[in-house]
Amino acid sequence: MLIPGGVLMVVVVLIPLAMAVYMSLLDLNQYTIRQWLQAPFIALSNYVEAITDSPLLSSFGISISFALISTLVTIPIGVAAALATQNAYRGRALVRSVFLVPYVIPSFVTATIWRTIMQPGGIWTGLLSVVGIHPGLWLNGPNAFWTLVIVEIWAAWPFIYLLALSGLQTIEQDVFEAAALDGVSWWEQLRHVVFPNLRGPVALASVVAVLAHINNFTLPFVLFGMPAPDNVQTLPFLTYIQSFQSFRFGLSAATAICSLVLLAIPLFIYLRVARLDRTEAEVAGA
């Protein structure tokens, strides 16, 4: 029964990964791409260039800061939205549907809409000028990074909302009823009942969200176009530039492999922490 999934894993993941590793060891460019199997073998030269000469570390810093800021802002928004729609009330189904609108809209459409909104003289600058704020351009210059963060927050917070809502659904309603009978305040219920049960789902959602933010290519590509400002060139964006603008396919493959290793760090930390928590729970249960 595991054979179909294993075959799919090999075809979709392992074979492309092996090809990327092999390409990263070649001097592969627009002149050698036609016969890439015969391209000059240069060992780790692409990796050395990716780490030392290319803006890999700068793009990594941009990706990490962008992902962390977006995740830290979306967590309280998503949890608050989940708490607001946990209990039944008239119109709750409509509210839940509206909350999911930013998440179900394709990234291409979201970026196109926000690109129009944040154009000079657009809706965004018009609303800010009404309150006396004139920050300048939003699709270029130092504000471009914050434009990317704002749009990503708007598009991504429903994911945290869904995971937090699923965690809330696992809490028995009898627990809240017993707490209410004992005179426990709403804040104490959140602190001692809700938040402990949300720790696991929110932690998982945070890790997945960070990885999704870092790997988001469509949003910055459509939002800013080419050439994009330097402060929004995330890791996928840098890989695209090296491949399809500089035509350094071997260097872009090395950059992608380095990015994969860097992105595996938060996932490894989460799995390690989850394993330690599971071990402590088993020890406490014994």
pLDDT at position 53 is 75
51-79: average pLDDT: 89
pLDDT at position 158 is 93
Q: Determine the distance from the C-alpha atom of residue 127 to the mean position of all C-alpha atoms in its chain, rounded to a whole number.
A: 28
202-210: average pLDDT: 87
φ, ψ for residue 113 (rounded to 5)? -65, -50
Q: Is-cis flag, bond preceding 229, omega within 30?
A: no
User: Do the Cβ atoms of 27 and 250 come closer than 8 Å?
Assistant: yes
* pTM for the model: 0.84
Q: Is-cis flag, bond preceding 227, omega within 30?
A: yes
Q: Who contacts 210 (Cβ-Cβ below 8 Å, separation ≥6)?
A: 67, 68, 71, 266
Q: Where are the alpha helices (DSSP H) in 24-55?
A: 45-52
273-280: average pLDDT: 66
User: For residue range 250-262, what is the model confidence (pLDDT) as tens digits?
Assistant: 889 999 898 888 8
Is the pLDDT score of 122 beyond 60? Answer: yes
Is the pLDDT score of 45 beyond 80? Answer: yes
User: Do the Cβ atoms of 133 and 51 come closer than 8 Å?
Assistant: no
198: which DSSP letter? Answer: H
Distance between CA atoms of residues 209 and 205, nearest Å: 6
Distance between CA atoms of residues 191 and 277, nearest Å: 20
Is the pLDDT score of 225 beyond 60? Answer: yes
Q: Please report which confidence band the pLDDT of residue 154 belongs to, taking 50, 70 and 90 as the band edges.
A: very high
